[in-house]
Structure 1
Amino acid sequence: MKADHCFQRILLDHACGGRWYDQITRRPAYRHACDTTLDRAIALGEAVAAGTTDLAALNRQSLIWRGKA
């Protein structure tokens, strides 16, 4: 993954349990998401950085939710 927006998409999708834009209707998402969603996304990002969560697996699921896998 080379683009920051992809990383954001993956974390926000998982924080929302599906496509983030189904729950966060305004953009940019990070500005309009509720604190709980942002907390989940941050915790997931920290787990990825710590190596305890597989970013590639998260990306695959995110793409499945979007019908792109």
Structure 2
Amino acid sequence: MANAELQALKLNSGECIMVGDLLETDIRMGQIANIHTALVRTGVAQKEDIALSGFKPDYVLQSVQDLVAAAD
């Protein structure tokens, strides 16, 4: 799905970041498409889950607002 969206939007994976709250779906999809990943902890995944998962996000954020603040 991510690769199809990259093609449709004419974007390179290096220009994007996959943001999500699920390691097994959101973070995994980003990694498969070679997109940087950010896990937001406002959803299901908790900090302890990262250590147990095979899917390690590039960034761990408390909320999506942290991503906006980093872009400024």
TM-score when normalising by structure 2? 0.23
- Greater RCO between the two (CA within 8 Å, min separation 6)? 1
TM-score by length of 1: 0.23
Which structure: greater helix fraction? 1
